[in-house]
């Protein structure tokens, strides 16, 4: 179906005048008339009627019925064009913030897809804790962040990504009992955890603060890799995402601890500000959602096989 005919139909319907529609579309009134006639012939219906010589052009009942469908087609066509233009022509820089958990899971697949679909786009990536990434989204110093979300702020778009469960782990060298343990039994060692101010840190700290035990020593870090290394070396006990410790558990470097309580799962979102509208972030966020879904599908498949 001819795009110009549909576009002309929409503007004549909105303006109610062939001459003004011709001015809007930078063409002549005869051309407008020809497009409308061609569309009416193609559809087999009358779209407009004139009531009286000086009355404006009016939509017929069938024209009113078809107008919303035409507007939707034109909108979707425009969105398709914008996305094609962004993917093939955009050559700027995407300022991307990423939580370390994502770095250690599906970030490589996401960046590979991004380079394939938008080869001219450069990526300026910052790996940091969620608290600072959220600030970057709010003050527009970041275009997009993959973080523990959502970011509850007006004009911030949040799309759900992956969710990761946590486990208490320790080095076998600590020789912890192989049974269900109370949290009071863990306080003899430092609790190695996420950086101060993060959701996991606050949740763990509050839980231990409620215990009737001497002050607990916390070793907090912005690096999950550092937390993992310290735990392997027997410095303390930590909670880590299961996806990050699979190899260490298999090799016997770490041992899961069965405790009466464990922190909440980590839920991640792709978040960005839509004011001003950022078509690149809007497109890239779809790639992030797809990469997360594909990773989760592979993970579930691997767990099923095991």
The model's pLDDT over 150-166, given as tens digits with 9 standing for 90+, comes to 888 888 889 999 899 99
Q: Is the pLDDT reported for residue 86 higher than 80?
A: no
Q: Which residue has the tokens 């949290």?
A: 183
The answer to whether the CB of 146 falls within 8 A of the CB of 288 is yes
Nearest to 98 by CA among 163, 155, 149, 167: 149
Kindly list the strands in the beta sheet with 218-221, ordered across the sheet, starting from the edge strand earlier in the chain: 218-221, 191-194, 237-241, 166-170, 255-257
pLDDT at 84: 61
In this predicted structure, which of 25-39, 59-73, 75-89, 176-190 has the lowest mean pLDDT?
Answer: 75-89
Pairing of strands 237-241, 166-170: antiparallel
Strand partners, 192: 219, 238
Q: Is the pLDDT reported for residue 270 higher than 90?
A: yes
Mean pLDDT of the chain: 87
pLDDT at 76: 82
Q: How many residues does the chain have?
A: 306
pLDDT at 146: 95
Average pLDDT over residues 194-222: 88
Average pLDDT over residues 220-230: 91
Cis amide leading into 271 (omega within 30)? no
Share of the chain above pLDDT 90, in %: 45
pLDDT at 82: 66
pLDDT at 88: 54
pLDDT band at 277 (very low <50, low <70, confident <90, very high): low
pLDDT at 212: 83
Q: Is the pLDDT reported for residue 16 higher than 80?
A: yes
Average pLDDT over residues 171-185: 92
Q: Is the pLDDT reported for residue 56 higher than 90?
A: no
pLDDT digits (tens, 9 = 90+) for 128-146: 988 899 999 988 899 999 9
Average pLDDT over residues 284-301: 86
pLDDT digits (tens, 9 = 90+) for 93-135: 889 999 999 998 999 999 998 888 888 888 999 999 888 999 9
Angstrom CA distances, 120 to 39, 99, 126, 288, stand at 40, 24, 19, 18
Nearest to 198 by CA among 148, 234, 246: 148
């Amino acid at each position: 179906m001819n795009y110009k005919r549909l576009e002309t139909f929409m503007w004549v319907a909105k303006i109610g005048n062939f001459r003004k529609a011709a001015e809007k579309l930078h063409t002549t009134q005869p051309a407008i008339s020809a497009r409308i006639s061609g569309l009416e012939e193609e559809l087999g219906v009358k779209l407009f009627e004139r009531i009286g010589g000086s009355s404006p052009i009016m939509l017929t009942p069938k024209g009113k019925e078809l107008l919303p469908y035409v507007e939707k087609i034109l909108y979707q066509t425009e969105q398709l064009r914008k996305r094609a233009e962004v993917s093939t022509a955009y050559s700027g820089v995407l300022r991307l913030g990423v939580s370390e958990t994502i770095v250690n899971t599906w970030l490589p697949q996401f960046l590979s897809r991004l380079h394939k679909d938008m080869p001219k786009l450069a990526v300026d990536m910052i790996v940091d804790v969620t608290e600072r990434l959220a600030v970057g989204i709010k003050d527009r110093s970041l275009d997009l962040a993959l973080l523990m979300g959502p970011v509850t702020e007006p004009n911030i778009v949040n799309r759900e990504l992956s969710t990761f469960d946590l486990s208490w782990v320790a080095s076998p060298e600590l020789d912890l009992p192989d049974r269900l343990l109370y949290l009071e039994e863990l306080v003899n060692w430092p609790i190695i955890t996420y950086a101060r101010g993060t959701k996991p840190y606050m949740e763990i700290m509050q839980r231990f603060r409620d215990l009737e035990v001497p002050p607990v020593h916390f070793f907090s870090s912005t690096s999950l890799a550092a937390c993992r290394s310290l735990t392997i070396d027997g410095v303390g006990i930590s909670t880590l995402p299961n996806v990050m410790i699979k190899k260490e558990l298999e090799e016997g470097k770490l041992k899961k601890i069965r405790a009466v309580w464990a922190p909440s799962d980590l839920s991640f979102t792709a978040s960005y500000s839509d004011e001003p509208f950022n078509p690149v972030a809007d497109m890239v966020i779809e790639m992030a959602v797809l990469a997360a879904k594909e990773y989760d599908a592979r993970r579930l498949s691997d767990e099923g096989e095991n």
